[in-house]
Amino acid sequence: MKTFKFNQLVLGLGVLVAVATTSCQDQLLDSPQPDFKGSAAAAPQVTLSGVLSNRTLDRDTVYILDEFVRVPSGVTLTIESGTLIKGETGTLSGNPATGTPPGTLVIERGGKIEATGTSTAPIVFTSNETTPASGDWGGVIILGKAPVCFDGTTAIEGIPTSASGDNGYGGVNDADNSGTLQYVRIEYAGNVLVDGDEINGLTLGGVGSGTTIDHVQVTHGLDDGFEFFGGTVNASYLIASFNKDDDFDTDQGYSGHIQFGVSLRDPSVFSSLPTGGFESNGDNDDASGCSFTNATFSNFTVIGPIGPNSSSAVNVAYNSGVLIRDGSELNLFNSIITGYPNYQLELETIADFDNDDNSTTDDVVSVEGVTLVYPTFSPFNAQGTNVGIFDFAFIANYHNESSNATNTGAGTSLTDLTGLSASAWNLTAPNFVPDTEKPSDFSHNLLSGCVSVDFRGAFGKDGDAIEGTNWDLGWEQF
């Protein structure tokens, strides 16, 4: 979701798998599963359309999503590991009244999806086009009954108001359960009706904390990667790569916890709107009468379009790495943000920053254990944050740092100052395991229940007993 009020995480390894069902708490769950049998071309194809009843999608079949495919209340859609689902293209973009809807999976309130892939056999949602491109199909939409801060709109964005079925979301059940997404990859999604009204790669509307989401990648999307419209769902191990708009967008009072994530940008991929790693809003930037968006993120690696060897200016659509607008009290811990041409961290209202030097919950934006590294080598002139440096970096208990990468030699480059290797910016085989770890801080009460690790960013160094084990075994794709 975009607003216009303000100037506008590699992998290849892992046996530690997390299920964020209560706050950031994880548990082991990886178990061997059969590989996908045969090629997509050889497998039989089945078209899914309309309203589904209870059914299982098996890995021996390729499924085609034709227009809006709905899982209504009381129905469960089960998807085997290794299953391939393709979305048909549509003509709704710019023509919502008469166009053909793109293939889109919609889990309605009270419906469930049980999509449990594995690291060696992920479930893949992708385009049905021979040469896939961003926005070929709709995406995956999950609608739940957890609380949402509305401005009077009760239908999820991206679906025409004339579309049949339950397009609403939100309710009063914090623990609402919409099912499971584990080891799932969503590619080339993101149909846009009109600017500001789009289907994201994964759209979550009022999804509750009883839902399990971990090890999910959204890549090459036309709009946002992940967008959370209210709700309380927790998540872990998320990757957003090469999406045209924001990678992680939180709105309408979303209050979940997300730990371990990556945002990777391609300098040649951007939208017509301000583009970044995070955007967080209230409800149309106005929290009047509503709960603030107060999501908590920890251990994220946010890589912008400017790398250690960049020498050309990036498009003006690229703005700030993390943008926190009015109506949001997003909290960010133990993370690395780098490579953006404006700010790495920007608050629309600077006074919302928590500068009272404590580790308790406040009605403010808490940022602790965060590294900002901003490029100022030619032709760039970025900044760390618009928050006063004495508030951000010089409150000792916050353990924040903001550093200027002049790229003039050892100790002053993006790699030296972030601790990351140059391969973190590699667009075909990125590796986010740091050369040098930066220490973490888990003292804040908002991090209760999170996995306490000794590093900031999405990964620790190879060789660490637990936290250093990379959290994928090739389920992701760049």
pLDDT tens-digit map of 211-236 = 999 999 999 999 999 999 999 999 99
Structure letter (DSSP) for residue 102: P
Closest residue by Cα to residue 35 from 86, 97, 83:
83
pLDDT tens-digit map of 113-144 = 999 999 999 999 999 999 999 999 999 999 99
Closest residue by Cα to residue 35 from 133, 108, 121, 107:
121
Round to whole Å and give the CA distance between 31 and 118.
Answer: 7
Closest residue by Cα to residue 186 from 234, 231, 240, 232:
240
Q: Which residues pair with 345 in a beta bridge?
A: 322, 385
Both tokens of residue 286?
């106005």
- Which portions of the chain are predicted below pLDDT 70? 1-41, 151-153, 194-196, 283-289, 462-469, 472-473
Provide φ and ψ at 213, rounded to 5°: -135, 115
361-367 contact pairs (CB < 8 A, 24+): 361/445, 361/446, 363/292, 363/329, 364/329, 365/324, 365/328, 365/329, 365/330, 365/331, 365/332, 366/329, 366/331, 366/332, 366/333, 366/444, 366/446, 367/331, 367/332, 367/333, 367/392, 367/398, 367/400
User: What was the pLDDT predicted at 31?
Assistant: 36
User: What was the pLDDT predicted at 474?
Assistant: 84
DSSP annotation string for 238-268: EEEES-SS-SEEEETT---EEEEEEEE--TT
Both tokens of residue 217?
């990648």
User: What was the pLDDT predicted at 38?
Assistant: 35
What's this model's pTM, rounded to 2 decimal places? 0.91
Closest residue by Cα to residue 220 from 168, 268, 165, 261:
268
Q: Which residues pair with 300 in a beta bridge?
A: 261
Round to whole Å and give the CA distance between 328 and 433.
Answer: 30
Find out whether 258 and 235 touch, Cβ atoms under 8 Å. yes
- The CA R_g of the chain, rounded to the nearest whole Å, is 21
Closest residue by Cα to residue 222 from 93, 81, 330, 311:
93
Q: What average pLDDT does the structure give for the chain?
A: 88
User: What was the pLDDT predicted at 35?
Assistant: 41
Element (H, E) at 105: strand 104-107
